[in-house]
Amino acid sequence: MTLSRPLAAVCAAIVLAGCAGDRATPTYPTIGHIERLDSRIDAVVPKDAVIEQLADGFDWSEGPVWVAKDRALLFSDVPRNVVHRWRAGEPVSVHLKPSGYTGATPRGGEPGSNGLTLDAQGRLVLCEHGDRRVARLEADGKTKTTLADRWQGKRLNSPNDLVYAKNGDLYFTDPPYGLEGNVKNPAKELDFQGVYRLSAAGELSLITKELSRPNGIALSPDERTLYVANSDPARAIYMAYERRADGTIGAGRVLLDTTALVKGRKGLPDGLKVATNGILFATGPGGVLVITPTGNHLGTIVTGQATANCAWGDDGATLYITADMWLCRIKVSAKGW
């Protein structure tokens, strides 16, 4: 029997919606695989876990953050100077543009926002490459407040990633990637790449300048350890610093050195997130590396692309991943905090 076009459309809609009449759960293509180097990874990433490709077509996707009240994910496309919004069953939409560069002079490179997070009031806080600052988007969705843009009178390089502590301290990294020409840009005012702490009272302090390319940043569940990724191919490492009660940091140690992996795999140490059990999910050579708090590399969620960052979403056991032109996700056994 041949159905009329209207009736066929109705039947298709019914099939998609399911018998209960709920919105259909979209199905997505899968990519990559899970590299298992240590059997302990099975308790973190199930053997049947798959990497879903949720959306594509971006120049360089970055900085994902889950907005629980909207059940939506926000993420940056740095070269295109935009923050996108993704929600299951809906097309990707523009949430904010421009996102990181508001200058009148057109420019290339990576001008847009990079790392994103939410403050205690649910407001979006952005690392803005082009405007060289950390800024907060106010509740009206239009007004921005500069949180940090200078160190001792000199402009920051291009803030990259950030994380809040429970007491309101904001930690962020400041590599040169948002500057056209990188470290050779004559507009660069600082002769180092720093990691900073912005206290809840608004006081900015430099906590380390020893890393050549500080990038992703995260805190352990007990907030006693600050993790920083260094995205330098000559020293592709993840650092762990003791975080003191006053918010400063003590001695650092190399948690994991992936310099040897860089030659054969796409990507460098970049964004990272930590599960409630202390396991790190760190983007780097090959995809997302799964690392214990003692520095054991259990395996890698291999995306096949240079992978920028990740974020917890949904029920806390879903890891959203920005990988070059893609937005992806994977269901894991660990849970975010």
Per domain, the residue ranges of the chain are: 28-331
Mean per-residue pLDDT, 143-151: 98
Could you tell me the two tokens for 117?
């997070």
186 burial (CB, 10 Å; 0-12 / 13-18 / 19+) is exposed
pLDDT at position 24 is 57
SS3 percent helix, strand, coil of the chain, rounded to 5, is 10, 45, 50
Written as six digits, the tokens of 315 are 């029920």
Report yes or no: 116 and 86 within 8 Å, Cβ to Cβ: no
Only one residue has tokens 């097309």, namely 91
Q: Which pLDDT score, from 0 to 100, does residue 8 have?
A: 39
Task: State the pLDDT at residue 201.
Answer: 95
Beta-bridged to residue 297, according to DSSP, are: 291
pLDDT score of 285 more than 90: yes
Among 330, 223, 333, smallest CA distance to 283 is for 330
Q: For residue 6, what pLDDT is reported?
A: 40
330: left (phi over 0), alpha (psi -120 to 50) or beta: beta
- In this prediction the pTM is 0.92
Res 11 pLDDT > 50:
no
What pLDDT is stored for residue 337 in this prediction?
73
What digits encode the pLDDT tens for the residues 83-109? 999 999 999 999 999 999 999 999 999
pLDDT tens figures, 46-89? 999 999 999 999 999 999 999 999 999 999 999 999 999 999 99
Q: Which two tokens stand for residue 193?
A: 């790449």
- Respond yes or no on whether the N-terminal peptide bond of residue 29 is cis (omega within 30° of 0): no
**Is the pLDDT at 271 greater than 90, yes or no?**
yes
pLDDT of residue 10: 34
φ/ψ region of 2 (left if φ > 0, alpha if ψ in -120 to 50, else beta) reads beta
- The CATH architecture to which 28-331 belongs is 6 Propeller (2.120)
Integer Cα distance of 187 and 144 in angstroms:
23
- Cα 322 from Cα 112, distance rounded (Å): 15
Phi, psi of 173 (to 5 degrees): -105, 155
Q: How far, in Å, CA of 243 to CA of 195, rounded? A: 13
Long-range contacts of the stretch 100-105 (C-beta < 8 A, 24+): 100/76, 100/126, 100/127, 100/128, 100/129, 100/130, 100/131, 100/178, 101/128, 101/129, 101/130, 101/131, 102/130, 102/131, 103/130, 103/131
The answer on pLDDT for 115 being more than 90 is yes
- The pLDDT of residue 20 is above 50: no
Distances (CA, A) of 142 to 101, 161, 275, 300: 14, 22, 33, 39
**Which of 3-7, 97-101, 317-321 has the lowest average pLDDT?**
3-7
- For the chain, helix (H) and strand (E) counts, in that order, are 2, 28
Three-state DSSP at 43 gives helix
Residue 3 has pLDDT above 50, yes or no: no
pLDDT tens digits, 158-188: 999 999 999 999 999 999 999 998 999 999 9
How many whole angstroms separate alpha carbon 137 and alpha carbon 300? 34
pLDDT score, position 26: 78
